[in-house]
Structure 1
Amino acid sequence: MNARSPVDTDKRLFVSGNEAVSLAARDARVKVAAAYPGTPSTEILEYVSRYPDIYSEWSINEKVSLEVAIGASLAGSRALCAMKHVGLNVASDALMTQTLIGAVGGLVIVVADDVGLSSSQNEQDSRFWGRFAHLPVLEPSDTQEAYDFTRAAFDLSEQYQVPVLVRVTTRICHVKGTLVTQDAVTAQPQAGFVKDPSRLVMVPGNAKGRIPLMHARDEALTEAAEASELNRVEAGERSDLGFVVSGVAYQHVKEAYPDAPVLKLGFSYPVPVEKIRAFSQQVERLILVEEVEPLLEKELKAEGIALEGKSVLPKQGELTPDVLKRSLEGGTSAAEEVKSAAQPELIAAAQEVFPRPPTMCVACPHLGVYYTLSKVKNTYISGDIGCYTLGAGHPWNALDTCISMGASMGVALGLDKGRQPEDANKKVVAVIGDSTFLHMGMQGLLDLTYNKGNATILLLDNRAVGMTGGQNAPSSGINLQGEQTAQVNFPQLVEALGVKKERIHKVDPYELPTLFKTLRDETKIDDVSVIITNQPCVLTERYKAMQPLKVEADDCTGCGNCLDVGCPAILVSRRETVIKPNGKEKELAFADIDTSACTGCNLCVNTCAPDAIVPADSLVANGYEALQSQNIDNLVVEVK
């Protein structure tokens, strides 16, 4: 379990933690790697895909990616699976059985926790899965350890025939650091798949026989954790204060208290209780620093070890040096912990510079969808996980729920079936992206049709996993290696899931009149309808920009309709207050367009009554005249 060995100094690199994990996979002779994109773990597989000796794939979801890795491990090959924290929830069904089966070839699951919620719907502590699934957990604290611990995880997996969790966090994934790589391991001959139904076929009788073996493995792993060099004591100059810490919080402790002794846990589960007990006797005050749950704190207190943890430290967010110092020395109370974790003074300073609410990209095909939904009344709108979740914000305010990937379908059915009598006339609309639909939404649509629900589904097919960087999905017809492959046919797919053919429509989201009419008509039908948009993500090579637009200032009336589209390229040039004939004040917002950012999608042209939006030069953009002739003066649709 020695994570380091003599290295060639010419192999020094400056890389992120995600790239370090991929380099470890390469040098550990991984044969199969699978993942589903999810920040902060996305780049791991993108880097792995550069190595031709490793088969790598974007799987349909995290459960499938783990199943692919499991199959490779059972075939005798080393396999890596990567996902963000909420992805491990999806994969847990396979995980909880595999803990009984174990591993043959090294099986490593890298799970990236989004501490601080930079791009996630919750803040989850994946260390719980080690306890729940009886799996060892390794926690690197920097780029070098992300590499070292991932390599060590494959050895540990094969030595104890167990899947291993490597828990990283956003700060490790995305922050770059110095890395010195080691020579790749020597390729070993693989035994291949060995039939063993008593181990591999988990019917109840076989599973019962594996449970004692799992408990025996737990005991052996506990001994390994107590002896592991990944758990080390660093002496300090003071005896009044000491720390037990794991993960990137170790760096924060060392910065805040460089003279304090530290027990750094790299092999954090099974818990090396006796090593911690011995360390606790060397200091007067022991502080346990863990992001984010008081998981280890409860376990150690149950063992009779005196320490402080979440009674003085925040229960959410990153435990940065500033937070540590303020909590331990500034008297931050438990009631103030959320305020401390968020560092409000830094947020206030940023707002003084310029507030930047999240928004969609210029010309995003979702803009027209949410502009349309914002004008539709008398609806419930259930949302999903993706770029289109931003539809809940300004200026659209057109999303009522967002739970988890694929949940929009089931929530829509629940809204339909659970509505109160006074809401009988409400229309239910669900919004979901193509990749999310394939990830976990198909089952929800089948449930809608099977149980005779009444909802209109907006399936936003931009042919990419847009929110995580535009990765290819089955909707694109291109795999991770850029090869042409089978492309899903959404009309045929949703029809196979029970949607009537006449209730399936493909619509160009840039053609607002057609989109409005289709949505209005389908929400009036007492049945399941699916409206499929068909324009690509603007950040992918599939998107073809047209001629940019500009605003003729003399023609602009200040109505502000184009601003409601929410396109970042449309700006307010000036505001003016006028008195209406009824004596009431009205604020006019005169628009301008950042021509350097505009891609000529013509969405704003559809909304401009005075025809003040024109091509940026004398040339006429493709389709511009036809779209201009379809101006919509009043886009408010009352669905009855």
Structure 2
Amino acid sequence: MDDRFTQASGTHVYTGCELLVKGALESGVSLLTGYPGSPLAEVFDAIQRNAELLKNNGIIAQIANNEALSIARLNGSQMADVRAIAFMKSVGLHVASDALAISNLAGTTGGAVVVVGDDTWSHSTQVPADSRFLARHVYTPLLEPSTFQELKDWINCAFQISAAADLYVCYLTTENQASGGGNVELQPNIYPDITGLKQVNLDTQLIDADKRVVLPPHTAQIEMETLQERLPAALETARDLGLNTIQFVGDTASKKRYPLGFVSAGLAHSCLLHALGELNLYGDIPVLKLGMTHPIDANIVRAFAEEVDEIYVVEEKRPLLENEIKALLTQMYQDGGIKRYVNVWGKQFPDGLAGIPAASGLDASILIQQLIPLFKHRLATRESTGYSEVSNPLVDLRHLTREEALQKEVSEQQIDIPQRTPTFCPGCPHRDSSSVFLEITRQFMDTDYMKKRHNSGPVDLVFHGDIGCYSMLKYEPFPRLMHNLSAMALGGGSGAGIDPFIKNKQIVFMGDSTFFHGGMSAISDSIKNNQDIAYIILDNQTTAMTGHQPTPAGELDLLGNPTFAQDIEQVAQGLAGDSEIDIVRTNPEDRVNYKKHLEKTILKPGVKIVIADKECAITYHRRLRREQRKTIAKDGFLKHEKHINITPEVCEFCRECTVATGCPGLKIVNTDYGEKVAIDQSNCVSDGACARIKYACPAFEEVIVTRKRPPQAQTTASGYRDLLRDDPLPPPPPLRFERSWNTYAAGVGGMGIGTISKVLVVAGYLQGYDVTFCDRKGLAIRNGGVYTHLAYMQPGVHASPMIPYGKADLLLGLDILEAVRGITPRSLFRVASPDRTAAVVNTAKTETITTLIGKDDFDPDTLEETLQIHTKSEAYFGIDLFTISEQLFGNKLYANMMLLGTAFQHRLIPLELEPLQLALKQMVPHADLETNMKAFNVGRRLALDSPQLADETPRQPSYAEMLSEKRQILERKRGGKRLAQRYVKLVEDVVETMDVGPDNIHRLLALYVYDLIQFEGINYAQMYVEKVKQVHAHDSASYDYRATKAAIRYLHKVMLIKDEVYVAHLLTSEEKFARDKELYKVDTKNGDRIKYVHLNRPHFTVMGLDFEADIDTRNWQLNLMKRMKFLRRLLPEWHAKEKAFREWYISRVIDTFAPTDVEAYDKHLRALECVEEVRGYREIRYPKMEAAKQTVEGLLGSVTSDQ
């Protein structure tokens, strides 16, 4: 239980979703219900964290199967004198609207409130959101709180209005409110008289059925009562509660009207006041704040109209309030209620000026942009019509000009960066299904494949989309798997619309929560109409998309009470009845069998149901980590660890694993052999989906580490060891600010931006500031960007949740790409300016999905230059925190605290050390607190020691070191001394003969010659050297020996045929073993052992026949295989295509190199480099070899080897 939810006085900080729950508790609520959806999903998390509090007081909290059922719960609750509240997102209100329309007219007893979350920016909602229209349509009063204090307090107001008016009340919040938060004043909770622990007997004779049952002919009468009595009662109650107010109007008896005034409500009102404050006009211009926007209070609108010449309506989305106020004032003017016609502006300003945008949402920056031209036009160019002496009507033109210049500056920056699209989490079971379907989709269009496997022609699969984690199928690398989207649970319905007219086979992905939400009905519809469609029910045992709330298939409800677990397979079987519909539950992780079953099932006629049964990776690994912590607490260490590893020397960088999975547990690294795919050990959960891809290279392996005793303290990399010293650090002098201080933090989901936000929020509160913040998460948990806006304010200063353009005092970039996104004009934020914004940035590169699969790229160095240009140059600090974190803590996930510590020690945060440390203790889980504290202090030391670190960071070995290392390895082979001597002489001779540039080229040459010796012996390496020297003989320093350098790299690539023998060598090499021991902290002297399960797919061609099998091999088997070089001669057809390509490259490209001019040199250089894209194994590689040949023929034309 969270103590903040029982706090009865004083203040504390909460998120917007938490405030809604606390407000309900302070209002005496008996029932909380709804259906999770962004931006209100975290309401249910707050409820779940406080299950003990609710259960102890008999308060019922239930997630309904869908939003309509949650409204029906409110309907039933109003048969007794209880207060009930439902939470849902805007599209959920669409689902619930029928039930709400009826229930609202049926009335209330204790009170019923429907909280709806509008995602006005459409960050995580598929359609634009404006629930104000729907609230009016179903006759519900509508409240729109503006501040976070109101967000909590007005829940009670809503209940009072509901009870007084005998109507449900819609309570509108937006994403920036629900995802934001701040400090608020608190009241005691009120615990209801009627609860689950204090039940009553309902006297059914007292139920007024004519009222409770809304059916004709009573409907028309109830409608009239609603319009004439109930809505006016709601309005009167809102007046009594003071929800509508006129702000910033002085003594009307001593002056004339104001030139203009604003009308606003909800978050738009907060943004308006923030914008006026930034323009130095806060309190100088009248504002009508409407807390209840339906029905509108005509009296207060009339009173406001008498104070101003013109009215400007500031509202998000379409001109609803604007049109209603226009209609009201026009009617009043026509009736004589007001003596003059009052112009009302909103989406269009006078004299052709652009008004308030009708699309997306609002923030202070958008309003500043629109209001500056208006104020210059309407205020600065006219004399006062009678302001009091206290309020000067003339705006400060110089200040407006400065603000206008800032807006222009941040909006005209030219920054081109890739998008970071969301994807499935590492280990997500949906990746198993999607990657299999990618392969099936491709193979089903292959005529030969379909004829051979299914005796069928090609089949073009049609995929109908749905709402859930599997909506990520829209994005790379899976867009082929979603062709349309209707709404949640309606993918099958889309299929029904096209099914009678097409021959294609159809697929629908459906989640387990979606199945219970409405998917059962869709399946029933498909069965009834005999659709030819396959339902793939992705049963991951949770409502994963919105934060892992329980589903009807679970054994516990939201409060942890035991419930009956409903089995999807049994429910589906009940729908199928006695039909022959194929219903199978299977584990998608068993890729081979899963794929076979899917292919067979899809091709069957009629409805097919496949239940892909695999737990959500997040819930599974949360449970696993809890178990591991228990083990560590008991034994002091983990006896067994399992990892997925990629051997870079074996990886061909074909990207098949990334294209087939899009897994963020993969990353790209630079090696001596070029770019390679590697495992991001901080993100990877060792699920193995990447290794299960049919055409993934044999570089994948499982690494099993066993330990007999706790690991010994290991010497940290020399460049960073001093950062862990524990001598005291002096805190920096306190940073002060006058009115407000803003920070913007940006990262990628899972990096810990949320933790930074929590720590800074609590620390600012403990420091005594007013705090407001907004965590823009969107789809962050699925590798999307996450952004925090946070403001500290002195008392009396107003700020909305979002930082205005160019007004960030500090930019914290945990990901450099997302940090730059925060300043680009293409983003919504544009927070930085070179005159104001300091920046502390982690410069490490985190791939996007499009860069991971090779469709885009970005350069961190270029991004860093961009940040330095657009922030304060003297207050910029950038460093690769991921590398340091991995070196010191074995994981990059502590970089967030290092970032925070660095910013603090640089005196860029207006906090003292004590509240910051206390916030860390409160916000970081106890099990991770010590390491996070260390990371925070490492960050502080980085602020002081970073210049010294530059010379101590790990570096590549020099040429001499490389030559010595490889010589020593060769010496340990049988007969190795002579071989090593010949190796050294061969390399030294060629280096002495060819002076082609820096030490790094010589180092690579030493490495490549060594590789070829290991592959086929010294003579093979000698041939390589002679061919390189041959190219060098025709090269020139005037060309910077570019052709020679290309030959060194690419001839090695072509000659090093990675057959099963050489791959076995690479997977068991001495160098690899040493590297793995360091990576996984294996200390053999301490009893540690490391074992491998290599995920090989050996392929042999014997007498024209191909033999291939998936084999999981151990090191002893590979140690035998690597000694079988004789197979290359025994099986001449084995890798024949690779051998032929090698011979072609040597004869056609290497041997013909003799350029006579610059043009010929350039063409031949490109021919040498043509094998860069020849990557992968066999089926992946062969088409690329043919493409390279065609490229060379196009470049070299009629050049012959004789030339």
Place the TM-score, normalised by the shorter chain, in its bin.
0.7 to 0.9
Q: 1:308 aligns with which of 333, 345, 353?
A: 345
Q: Is the 8 A contact 2:161 2:237 kept in 1?
A: no
- 1:536-555 aligned at under 5 Å gives the runs 536-541=615-620, 547-555=642-650
Q: Which amino acid aligns with 1:613?
A: F
RMSD of equivalent CA atoms: 3.2
Range with greater deviation from structure 2 (530-539 or 353-362): 353-362
Q: Distance in 1 between matches of 2:179 and 2:101?
A: 29
Matches within 5 A, 1:132-147: 132-147=137-152
Q: Which residue number in structure 2 is paired with residue 362 of structure 1?
A: 426
Shift of 1:570: 1.2
What is the match of residue 234 of structure 2?
Answer: 221
For residues 133 and 668 of structure 2, the distance between their equivalents in structure 1, rounded to whole angstroms, comes to: 49
How far did residue 229 of structure 1 move?
Answer: 0.9
Matches within 5 A, 1:565-584: 565-573=661-669
Q: Is the 8 A contact 1:455 1:529 kept in 2?
A: yes
Contact 2:690 2:696 in 1 (8 A): no
Correspondent of 2:100 among 95, 98, 103: 95
The secondary structure found in structure 2 opposite 1:240 is strand
Alpha carbons of structure 1 residues 514 and 36: separation in structure 2 relative to 1, 3 Å = same
Q: Deviations over 1:56-112 (max 9, x none)?
A: 011111111111122112222111111111111111111111122100111111111
- In 1, Cα distance between the equivalents of 2:587 and 2:410? 43
Q: Residue 240 and residue 548 in structure 1: after superposition, are their counterparts in 2 closer, same or farther (change >3 A)?
A: farther
Q: Which amino acid aligns with 2:366?
A: V
The answer to whether the 8 Å contact 1:464/1:470 transfers is: yes
Question: What is the deviation of 1:399?
Answer: 1.1
Find the residue that maps to 1:497 and give its secondary structure: helix
| Structure 1 pair 502–213 and aligned structure 2 pair: CA distance change class (3 A) | closer
> What residue in structure 2 maps to residue 483 of structure 1?
561
Q: Deviations over 1:149-208 (max 9, x none)?
A: 101111111122211111111111121112112234585678955422212223323434
The residue number in structure 2 matching 1:388 is 470
Q: Which amino acid aligns with 1:404?
A: A
**CA distance in structure 1 between the partners assigned to 2:499 and 2:19 by the alignment:** 48
Q: Judge conservation of contact 1:106–1:155 (CA < 8 Å) in 2.
A: yes
Distance 1:350 1:147, change over 3 A: farther
- The residue identity in structure 2 corresponding to 1:629 is I
- 8 Å CA contact 2:703–2:1092 kept in 1: the answer is no
Q: C-alpha distance in 1, partners of 2:89/2:13? A: 23
Contact 1:382 1:412 survives alignment (8 Å): yes
Structure 2 unaligned spans of 5+: 1-6, 195-199, 251-256, 277-281, 331-341, 349-354, 376-406, 443-459, 626-640, 706-1089, 1098-1108, 1114-1176, 1181-1203
Q: 1:230-241 counterparts in 2 under 5 A?
A: 230-235=243-248, 239-241=258-260
Structure 1 distance, partners of 2:557, 2:96, is: 22
| Aligned CA distance change for structure 1 residues 203 and 529 (closer, same or farther; 3 Å) | same
- Is the contact made by 2:467 and 2:488 (CA closer than 8 Å) also made in structure 1? yes
1:529 positional shift: 0.6
Cα distance in 1 for residues equivalent to 2:423 and 2:650: 28
Opposite residue 258 of structure 2, the aligned amino acid is S
Larger RCO of the pair (alpha carbons < 8 Å, separation 6+): 1
Partner secondary structure for residue 74 of structure 1: coil
Change (3 A) 1:21 1:427: same
Shift of residue 324, structure 1, vs aligned partner = 0.9
What per-residue deviation string (whole Å, max 9, x for no partner) do you get for residues 562-586 of structure 1? Answer: 1121110112335999xxxxxxxxx
Please state how far the C-alpha of 1:128 moved relative to its aligned partner: 1.4
Corresponding residue for residue 524 of structure 1: 603
Contact 2:25 2:190 (C-alpha < 8 Å) held by counterparts: no
Cα gap change, 1:180 to 1:226, in 2 (>3 Å): closer
Q: 8 Å contact 1:465–1:472 — kept in the other structure?
A: yes
CA 1:126–1:26 in 2, change beyond 3 Å: closer, same or farther?
A: same
- Rounded to whole Å, the distance in 1 between the matches of 2:408 and 2:538 is 36
Of stretches 70-79 and 361-370 in structure 1, the one that deviates more from structure 2 is: 70-79
Query: How does the TM-score come out when normalised to structure 2?
Result: 0.48
Conserved? CA contact 2:1093–2:1112, under 8 Å: no
Q: More helix per residue: 1 or 2?
A: 2
Which residue of structure 1 lines up, in the alignment, with residue 296 of structure 2? 271
Show structure 1 runs of 5+ residues with no match.
Answer: 1-7, 333-342, 578-587, 636-640
Work out whether residues 76 and 192 of structure 1, in 8 Å CA contact, stay in contact via their aligned partners in 2: no
Residue 274 of structure 1, CA deviation: 2.9
Contact 2:39 2:89 in 1 (8 A): yes
For 1:413, the equivalent position in structure 2 comes to 496
For residues 344-493 of structure 1, what are the structure 2 equivalents within 5 Å?
Answer: 355-375=419-439, 376-377=441-442, 378-397=460-479, 398-419=481-502, 424=503, 426-493=504-571
Residue identity matched to 1:320: D
Q: Is 2:726 aligned against 1:244? A: no
Deviates more, 1:595-604 or 1:433-442: 595-604
The corresponding residue for 1:629 is: 1111
| Structure 2 residue corresponding to 1:612, chosen from 695, 699, 716 | 699
Alpha-carbon separation, structure 1, partners of 2:1094 and 2:585: 19
Alpha-carbon shift at residue 356 of structure 1 (Å): 2.2
Matched, 1:158 2:158: no
Residue 218 of structure 1 and its aligned partner are, at CA, apart by 2.3
Count of residues in Structure 1 that have an aligned counterpart in Structure 2 = 604
Q: Residues of 2 paired with 1:25 and 1:161: CA distance?
A: 19
The verdict on how the C-alpha distance between 1:323 and 1:95 changes in structure 2, with shifts beyond 3 A counting, is same
Supply the distance in 2 between the matched residues of 1:555 and 1:382 (Cα, whole angstroms).
Answer: 39
- 1:201 has 2:213 as partner: yes
In structure 1, distance between residues paired with 2:1112 and 2:484: 32
SS in 2 for 1:121: coil
Which of the numbers 509, 515, 532 marks the counterpart of 2:588? 509
Amino acid paired to 2:560: G
* CA displacement at 1:494 relative to structure 2: 1.3
User: Structure 1 residues 309, 228: closer, same or farther in 2, change over 3 A?
Assistant: farther
Structure 2 residue matching 1:79: 3-state secondary structure: strand
2:371 equivalent to 1:285: no
Give the secondary structure class of the aligned counterpart of 1:244.
strand
Greater mean deviation of Cα atoms: 80-89 or 43-52: 43-52
State the alpha-carbon separation in 1 of the partners of residues 421 and 140 from structure 2: 40
**Alpha-carbon distance in structure 1 between the residues aligned to 2:297 and 2:655:** 63
Asked if 1:129 corresponds to 2:134, the answer is yes
Instruction: From the superposition, tell whether residues 370 and 197 of structure 1 become closer, same or farther in structure 2 (CA, over 3 Å).
Output: same
For the pair 1:108 / 2:204, whether they are aligned, the reply is no
Given candidates 167, 172, 178, the residue that maps to 1:167 is 172
Partner in structure 1 of residue 1071 of structure 2: none
Preserved CA contact (<8 Å) 2:538 2:613: yes
- Give 2:691's aligned amino acid: V
Q: Is the alpha carbon distance of 1:345 and 1:484 closer, same or farther for their aligned partners in structure 2, counting shifts above 3 Å?
A: farther
Partners of 2:408 and 2:569 in 1: how far apart? 48
Q: Distance in 1 between matches of 2:158 and 2:223?
A: 22
**Alpha-carbon separation, structure 2, partners of 1:310 and 1:27:** 38
Matched-pair contact (CA < 8 Å) for 1:62–1:83: yes
Given the superposition, is the C-alpha separation of residues 185 and 481 from structure 1 closer, same or farther in structure 2, using an over 3 Å criterion?
closer
> TM-score, with normalisation over the residues of structure 1?
0.87
Q: Kindly state the Cα deviation for residue 349 of structure 1 after the two structures are TM-superposed.
A: 7.6
